[in-house]
């Protein structure tokens, strides 16, 4: 049976529009209430900015044979055991009869402070995946096939995120891929290596300008980190689980 990719391009555009629209609504509500956060936090504290991507993932699960799966979005049901720490809160879990089918993290970063947040996001992504991988190896998730582990990141497409960045490493050279690389390029390298090192089953990077609130415009930076690769991998994993019965 062919995989159903859930008209992912349309749904991704809608998710991008919702992302930017929700951020602006949250900012306006704070202004009207006379309460303001520092910098870009005004658009973050409203929450639910990535809900459009959650809807896409849920649609992929249902269309590829696991309509009966339990899809958890409630914070109280999103915790998984770790190995280096007791637990980790994920953004979305797909389960069947107590078995973990998929775990996905949905993250974003907008300017202007790309430099301040890149390292934090990187460390979080690596640590989260490695922690769960070792916990799985040690039997924390039961003796079941390895779940799909996904990381999807939306980064603002702006002059500051595309501008070459210089690093200082006085003792040893920086890997060539990072030399003069913009923050968008750095995120692309990160996502590629997260998959190549098998920390994640799929890692998608979406670049989108603020003007996308009007048209949902977005861009992929490489085939390995594209939305299509992400949704195809997830749909294939779901279809395989459905066939397993």
205 alpha carbon, distance to own chain's centre: 8
Strand 92-96 relative to strand 70-72, pairing: antiparallel
| 159-218 tens-digit pLDDT | 999 999 998 999 999 999 999 999 999 999 999 999 999 999 999 999 999 999 999 999
Over residues 213-224, the mean pLDDT reads 97
| 75-125 tens-digit pLDDT | 999 999 999 999 999 999 999 999 999 999 999 999 888 887 899 999 999
Give DSSP secondary structure letters for 45-111.
TT--TTHHHHHHHHHHHHHTT-TTSEEE-SGGG-EEE-SSSSEEE-SEEEEETTEEEEEEEEEEE-S
| 1-40 tens-digit pLDDT | 689 999 999 999 999 999 999 988 877 777 767 665 554 4
Closest C-alpha among 225, 122, 231, 134 to residue 178:
122
Kindly report the pTM of this predicted structure: 0.91
Over residues 138-154, the mean pLDDT reads 97
**48 pLDDT above the threshold of 50:** yes
**50 pLDDT above the threshold of 70:** yes
* Distances in whole angstroms, Cα of residue 8 to Cα of each of 73, 115, 119: 20, 30, 30
> What is the predicted pLDDT for the residue at 30?
72
Cα separation of 160 and 179, whole Å? 16
**46 pLDDT above the threshold of 50:** no
> What is the predicted pLDDT for the residue at 29?
77
């Amino acid at each position: 049976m062919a995989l159903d990719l859930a008209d992912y391009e349309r749904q991704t555009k809608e998710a991008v529009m919702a992302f930017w629209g929700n951020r602006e609504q949250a900012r306006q509500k704070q202004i009207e209430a006379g309460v303001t956060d520092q910098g870009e936090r005004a658009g973050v504290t409203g929450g639910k900015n990535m809900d459009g991507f959650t809807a896409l993932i849920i649609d992929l699960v249902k269309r590829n044979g696991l309509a009966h799966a339990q899809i958890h979005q409630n914070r109280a049901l999103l915790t998984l055991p770790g190995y280096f720490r007791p637990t980790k809160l994920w953004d979305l879990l797909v389960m069947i009869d107590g078995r973990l089918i998929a775990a996905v993290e949905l993250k974003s970063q907008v300017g202007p402070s790309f430099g301040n947040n890149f390292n934090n996001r990187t460390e979080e992504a690596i640590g989260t995946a490695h922690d769960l991988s070792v916990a799985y190896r040690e039997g924390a998730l039961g003796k079941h096939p390895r779940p799909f582990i996904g990381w999807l990141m939306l980064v603002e497409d702006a002059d500051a995120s595309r501008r070459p960045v210089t690093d200082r490493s006085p003792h040893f050279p920086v890997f060539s891929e990072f030399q003069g690389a913009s923050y968008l390029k750095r995120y692309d390298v990160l996502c590629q290596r997260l998959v190549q090192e098998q920390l994640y089953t799929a890692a998608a990077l979406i670049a989108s300008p603020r003007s996308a609130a009007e048209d949902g415009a977005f861009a992929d930076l490489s085939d390995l980190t594209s939305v299509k690769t992400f949704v195809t991998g997830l749909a294939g994993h779901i279809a395989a689980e459905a066939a397993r019965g």
